[in-house]
Structure formats: structure tokens, C-alpha cells
Amino acid sequence: MRVRRIILVGGLSILLLSLLALAENIDPNDDGSKYAYGENVGWLNFGTCDGNTIVADANLTGYVWAENIGWINLDPNISDPNAGIKNDGTGLLTGYVWGENVGWINFNPQVPGDANHYGVTVNTEGDFDGWAYGENIGWIHLRATTPVAYGVKTSWTTSLYVEFDDFARFANQWLEPGSGLVADLDDDDDVDVADLAMLAEEWLKKCPPGWPLAY
């Protein structure tokens, strides 16, 4: 029985990794809402399959692809505290992303002598807006209506979507029997494949009221 448990947990880990590989939450309506534009660099695509851009309550991760400048890393792994994009939980983004060919891009730029906020934000509907700025490439606009309409949209809204933490809590109770387990989504007193199927169905979807794994 112990051997079977190890095998199943291993299988669960593989399945969770597979789900995470599909975790991108850009352009949820599949209508092309994944593009930003820079006058000097052209289109930037936040929604490529290989880039796996994820907008979360605390940060942004993944990569953005631009045909003219290559990959932009949203979460560069360096010790600089300003590296990477931080989300304050309300959709205000701050920090720097890194492009190997263009250097740093600031998601919360300041214009000397101008009190206006030009930085990038995400509203409660998941729409990006504002401007990012790179010393070597100039301004990047996240949303416009003229002369061509474009923009980036995410399925992120604070505490309304199934997140990786939900999978982590589920994994902690995988194959546990008994009543009152938060991962027992179908209330049959076991955390099993049926519960995993329900969790996977809700992945990247809006959580129903009272979602038990979200706390």
C-alpha cells in the first residue's frame, strides 16, 4: 500500500506540473488581447505558448516575445530587489524586466516634473493599461484604441481564481481519508482522483462562491 501511495503521489506531481505548464492566464477570451506596442520596437506578445506569462496577486512571471528584440524576462533571477514585476494585489505593477538585447524596462516609470502616473496597471477586469519605459527602446504602451485597437488582458483578479497554492493544499491531503478535509471537493470523505478532476476543471477559471481550497 505504501508503494502504491508513492506511485500515485508521483503521478500527481507529474499531473500538477503538466497543469502548471498550461497556466498562462493571458488573453482568456482568446480574442487577441495579448499585445503591447512600442514605437521603436513594434509589437510585444504577452501570450505566447513558450512564454507562459502568468499574472498573480503578488507578481508576474514568464516571458514576453517581441519579433524585433527577442525575449523579455518578467522575473529575472538576480539579487537586485527592483528586478522582476511586483503586483501590490490591487493591480499596481512596479519593477524592472530584462531583455537580453535591450536591457532593463521599467514598468513604473517616473517623468521628472510630472506628477502623472505613467506606470502599468491591471484593473479588476484584467485589462492592462499604462506605459513601460526602456532606456534603450523608449516607451511601450499596454493599451490603445486608435489608430489601431490593442491591449493585454488577463484572467487575474485578486482571490477569485484557482492558484498554485490551491494545488499545494490539495497535494498535502492527496489520498487522505476522513471528513472535513478541504481538498475533499465532492464530499465523499476521501481526497481522490474525483477531487483532482474537479480541481483541474476549475484551474484558470473563476472560483465558485465558497471555494474550499482558497484561503
Report the alpha-carbon distance of residue 168 to residue 88 in Å, rounded: 22
19-44 pLDDT per residue, tens = 444 456 899 888 999 999 999 999 99
User: Higher-confidence residue: 90 or 53?
Assistant: 53
pTM of the entire predicted model: 0.65
Joined grid coordinates for residue 118:
505613467
Instruction: Give CA 206 to chain center in angstroms.
Output: 14
Q: What is the mean pLDDT of the chain?
A: 85
Q: Cell numbers 499545494 label which residue? A: 168
150-170 pLDDT per residue, tens = 999 998 765 556 777 788 889
- pLDDT confidence band for 89 (50 / 70 / 90): confident
Mean pLDDT of 189-213: 81
Mean pLDDT of 58-63: 92
Mean pLDDT of 97-104: 96
Q: Which sequence spans correspond to the domains of the chain?
A: 2-22+161-202, 35-151
Q: Name the DSSP class of 35.
A: E
Q: Residues 5, 10, 15, 20: what is their CA dihedral angle, to the nearest 10 degrees?
A: 130
Residue 192 has pLDDT above 90, yes or no: yes
